[in-house]
Structure 1
Amino acid sequence: MPARTRLVVGALVVLALVVAGVVVTVGRTSPSPPTGGSLTLARAGESPGAAALLDPANADVDWGAVDSIRSVRPLPRDAKQDRPALYAEGCQVLAGDAVPKVCVDGDRDAERTVMLIGDSKIGQWQTAFANLGRREHWRVLSSTKSACAFTDADMTSGGKAFTDCREWGRAALADALRIKPDVVVTSQVHDTAVVDGKRSKGAMVRGLQRYWEKLQAAGIQVVVLLDNPMPTSHPTYQCVEDHPGDLTRCAYELAGPLAESSAPVQRAAAEATPGVGVVDMAPAYCPGLQRCPAVIGRVLVYRAGSHLTKTFTVSAQRQLARQLAAATDGALTRNR
């Protein structure tokens, strides 16, 4: 790692204390749903989300067994719109467009720069990164394209070739090499790519490696944020709306869906590419790493498919900060 990126780890620990966590009583409540079966909007101060996992008062809570809630944030009917501003601002490139759009957030005048590159699975964390950037003095750039992994390989979906994905990826790589951020953080939903007309996980691994190695050769540290899986209860927000008094119906076992996500391929690529850091947020969205709840700390975890709500990712900033500190050996911490 270049000297300019090796900074002290301590500030992210300080940051972890800045993002407030609120204790809530979350044990088994009455199995009866609210009057009329409807949920009310939880107040921000009463819905700590993932921050509740870090509070010693909740150490014995089995979050996958919490069976009833009366309030939640966001409401299930609003879940699909609970997403980062990059969508409304037109920052995510859509199908058919191969020209990257780089958007700026965080501390825009900071010397250190974090660049998020990938599809909507890195995009879902953009607000959390932006908040951390403002607190820790990082400039946060984002370059995302719907359904396109940042890989030097061709991609298909439904038997159709995504020719614009690879073109976009090459241009995004060129942008990163020109901008030279301190760290590139990437994630994706797809786990296969195409070589010789055949889809394979190996092709995806090799394509990821090639881009990551080019970034590293330019002195840019690479971090992969592991994909979170598709809940078996999707659309999960509908399950929560229909069963607020029986939330265990909306939880899912982690092992199978995780194996089907792109996380194993991402890990394999990271293990094959020395120096690449790994951020695993599974303990935040699936406490205990066995049965994953639909609601944590009165916050709805999923908004659409496997995508996390913006509210949940923001509530997990403390965990994200700690993971980034470890994955970058202190590169994303304040120089003290």
Structure 2
Amino acid sequence: MVLNFRPEVQGLRALAVLLVVLYHAGFPGLRAGFVGVDVFFVISGYLITALLQAEYAQTGRIVLSAFFARRIKRLLPAALAVLVVVGSVGVWLYPPGEQAEYLSTLRAAGLYVSNAWLAARSLNYFAPASAENPLLHTWSLAVEEQFYLVWPLLTLWALGWRKPAAPWRRPLMLLILGAVSLAACWYFTVKVQPWAFFLTPMRAWEFAIGAWLVGKRAEGWQATVGAVAGLGLVLGSAALMPSAAVYPGLWAVGPALGAALLLWSLAGEQSANWLRRPLSAQPLVILGDLSYSLYLWHWPVLVALAVLWPNPDGVQRGLALLLALACAAVSLYGIENPIRRRAMASRWVLALGAVATLLMLALSNWAMHRAAQHGDDGLAHIEAAASDRPRLYALNCHQFFFDERPAPCYFGAAASAPVVALVGDSHAAQWFPALEGLALREGWKLVTMTKASCPIWDLPLHSPPLRRRYWECERWRDGVLVELQRLQPQLILMASANHYGLAEAEQVQGLVRYAQRAQQAAGEAKLAVLRDTPRPGFNPVRCLARAHWRGHQAESSCPISDSDEKVWRERLAEQERRALSTIGLRYVDLSASLCPQRRCELQRNGAWMYSDDQHLSASFASSLDRALELSLRGQALLPLQTGGK
């Protein structure tokens, strides 16, 4: 079944892909070019539903095998080509540790479930940044494929299995589906934003909007108004959406409604010609033809550029886009079109598609096994640092995003021993190896209460992974006070990262307020705040592994520059020290032991200093137990009295 060619729809595809590609390339003025994906979803809902309804109108049925065969011929060959190239280039580009990560995404992309995979990874605190994943963009392809899998069945039910259904069934289905999906999208944007962004049920309403438009068209002044409003909503959303907007949620209604208005306005025979003509221009039609391939290729090319040349300039990004365009042209004219135009029975298409997918999965599994076997002892030593974390994590003693009640963990001496409490976020947890060694030597009971991305400040907090206010953190901090009142420790050690994006004065005031509340809860406890550790400005483990893998001198390829105020936050540290001293609390500063002469090194005390771009490795932290002991003694925080206060 073939619909009449609509050049203006191809132009609209071109507009959508341009928004996405230019946004990813850092084009100025596009704050939210990612809304091009929402435009694609609406177009897909419109075209696929129109195709299915036309087939039903002509034949009285929908042949599912033929529909799926057409989708496979259209989408699978180019997608597999990209996956094969990304997998092959990645073996050279990435060391084995990173290969395992992107090959897992490749496997999920081959099964069209990378949206679910990425949604799960986005809430994994230690997962590599998704922006560095060359297959991140496949999430939207997975959403579309999952839509194609379910939509023909729903359409067939709405139209009637054996005889035409009542005319109200189709609009009622679209209304209910769209309303439920939009409500779920709003709810999960507020609660767990990655689920709303990546998962198909929360995006189904956009396809439903497109489906609703089938058979509807605007004429005359309505078309003009609709086209102006639609173009304004799409471009305005891309250019003017606030950086603080939590997407998708209700913010996605703008571009989706804009795309719907454009399709509605351009459907009439004599409507919105002032817009139809430019959208139907040959360059935009050609770009629309290339839109699928260009979308497939542009992101891996941009990621490879950033890996080879960190912080590329505008010229380099422009050349990368030209390369992506060339790859898209080869893909369209050399792979997609020849296969799509080749006559073949549906059953053979389905069988070959299944075989090709299984072969790709087998190759990706082989590549993952091969990656695990390659590398030398030097590379293994570097990559081991990435998992050199405190055993709090393995013991499930470090709590994560959705935990609201603290779950104290106990280490060290028996019940009658002095109690020392370690409280804070992951920058408190990183001190556990040093404190555990000290607790065992001094005969303490060490109690830990740490939670991911939850600084010990009496302040409301926004969570970047959840893209909303971090209610769980606020409730957890209140629960910590209850636990401190119950434990009555002799010493409380608090630590938090200092890079949550708050104003320094606000942050210091929040720290002081919480420290006072903690000391009041614990009675006569001594309380000290550990100064935050410096950040190297990049991920040393990843940098060292990549350099070693490519045969470069590892340490000279990844120097840590002289520390400056941005890294050390000297002014903030001084403000914290002064504010705490005014209320009689201590400030523990191990800067000299961490980075002598204000210069940090990749290796100290026989261990890699960092496990990622901000956390000390457990081995290095463990080597600081003596330095920590001397600092605590120097500030009269030790010795602690056995048997209580």
- Report the TM-score, using the length of structure 1 for normalisation: 0.69
Q: Which residue of 1 aligns with 2:544?
A: 240
SS of aligned partner of 1:75: helix
Find the partner of 1:283 among 581, 592, 598: 592
- Is 1:87 paired with 2:393? yes
Mapped to 1, the partners of 2:629 and 2:377 lie a distance apart of 28
SS of aligned partner of 2:494: strand
- Is 1:216 paired with 2:216? no
Q: Is the 8 A contact 1:281 1:320 kept in 2?
A: yes
**Deviation string, structure 1 residues 231-267 (Cα, Å, up to 9, x no partner):** 02x2111333326846254222222311289745643
Q: How does 1:174-189 map to 2 (within 5 A)?
A: 174-189=482-497
Q: Which residue of 2 aligns with 1:112?
A: 418
Mapped to 1, the partners of 2:571 and 2:383 lie a distance apart of 26
Q: Which residue of 2 aligns with 1:53?
A: none
- Is 1:294 paired with 2:599? no
Q: Is the 8 A contact 2:453 2:463 kept in 1?
A: no
SS of aligned partner of 2:482: helix
Q: Taking every aligned residue pair, what percent have the same amino acid on both sides?
A: 26
Q: CA RMSD in A?
A: 2.8
Name the aligned partner's letter for residue 224 of structure 1. Answer: V
Shift of 1:111: 2.2
Mapped to 2, the partners of 1:204 and 1:72 lie a distance apart of 41
SS of aligned partner of 1:186: strand
Shift of 1:142: 0.2
- Is 1:231 paired with 2:536? yes
- Is 1:255 paired with 2:560? no
Decide whether aligned partners of structure 1 residues 202 and 146 sit closer, same or farther in structure 2, where only a CA change above 3 A counts: same
Name the aligned partner's letter for residue 163 of structure 1. Answer: W
Mapped to 2, the partners of 1:122 and 1:229 lie a distance apart of 13
SS of aligned partner of 2:596: coil
Mapped to 1, the partners of 2:388 and 2:500 lie a distance apart of 29
Mapped to 2, the partners of 1:73 and 1:316 lie a distance apart of 25
Mapped to 2, the partners of 1:260 and 1:236 lie a distance apart of 22
Decide whether aligned partners of structure 1 residues 148 and 237 sit closer, same or farther in structure 2, where only a CA change above 3 A counts: same
Name the aligned partner's letter for residue 286 of structure 1. Answer: C
The range that moved more, 120-129 or 236-245, is 236-245
Unaligned stretches of 5+ in structure 1? 1-37, 39-69, 194-198
Shift of 1:271: 3.5
Decide whether aligned partners of structure 1 residues 329 and 86 sit closer, same or farther in structure 2, where only a CA change above 3 A counts: closer
SS of aligned partner of 2:480: helix
Name the aligned partner's letter for residue 280 of structure 1. Answer: D
Question: Comparing both structures, which one devotes a greater share of its residues to strand?
Answer: 1
Q: Which residue of 2 aligns with 1:267?
A: 577
**Deviation string, structure 1 residues 161-202 (Cα, Å, up to 9, x no partner):** 111111110100111122110010011114558xxxxx5332
SS of aligned partner of 1:100: coil
Name the aligned partner's letter for residue 259 of structure 1. Answer: R
- Is 1:303 paired with 2:608? no
Unaligned stretches of 5+ in structure 2? 1-94, 96-375
Q: Is the 8 A contact 2:605 2:623 kept in 1?
A: no
- Report the TM-score, using the length of structure 2 for normalisation: 0.37
Q: Is the 8 A contact 1:120 1:188 kept in 2?
A: yes
**Deviation string, structure 1 residues 284-315 (Cα, Å, up to 9, x no partner):** 220122x2111114310000111000000111
Larger Rg: 2
Shift of 1:316: 1.4
Mapped to 1, the partners of 2:397 and 2:506 lie a distance apart of 28
Q: Is the 8 A contact 1:184 1:222 kept in 2?
A: yes
Q: Is the 8 A contact 1:73 1:298 kept in 2?
A: no
Mapped to 2, the partners of 1:124 and 1:190 lie a distance apart of 14
Q: Which residue of 1 aligns with 2:628?
A: 320
Matched residue count? 259
Decide whether aligned partners of structure 1 residues 74 and 85 sit closer, same or farther in structure 2, where only a CA change above 3 A counts: farther
Shift of 1:321: 0.9
Q: Is the 8 A contact 1:300 1:312 kept in 2?
A: yes
Q: How does 1:133-144 map to 2 (within 5 A)?
A: 133-144=439-450
SS of aligned partner of 1:304: coil
Find the partner of 2:431 among 122, 125, 145: 125
**Deviation string, structure 1 residues 63-110 (Cα, Å, up to 9, x no partner):** xxxxxxx99898221112111111011111110211101000122345
Q: Which residue of 2 aligns with 1:59?
A: none
Find the partner of 1:148 among 423, 447, 454: 454
Mapped to 2, the partners of 1:102 and 1:318 lie a distance apart of 25
The range that moved more, 112-121 or 213-222, is 213-222
Mapped to 2, the partners of 1:205 and 1:227 lie a distance apart of 13
Mapped to 2, the partners of 1:276 and 1:72 lie a distance apart of 45
Find the partner of 1:100 among 401, 406, 409: 406
Name the aligned partner's letter for residue 627 of structure 2. Answer: Q
Shift of 1:318: 1.1
Mapped to 2, the partners of 1:93 and 1:216 lie a distance apart of 23
Q: Which residue of 2 aligns with 1:162?
A: 470
Decide whether aligned partners of structure 1 residues 92 and 258 sit closer, same or farther in structure 2, where only a CA change above 3 A counts: same
- Higher normalized contact order (CA 8 Å, seq sep 6+, divided by chain length): 1
SS of aligned partner of 2:489: coil
Mapped to 2, the partners of 1:294 and 1:333 lie a distance apart of 38
Q: Is the 8 A contact 1:226 1:262 kept in 2?
A: no
Question: Comparing both structures, which one devotes a greater share of its residues to helix?
Answer: 2
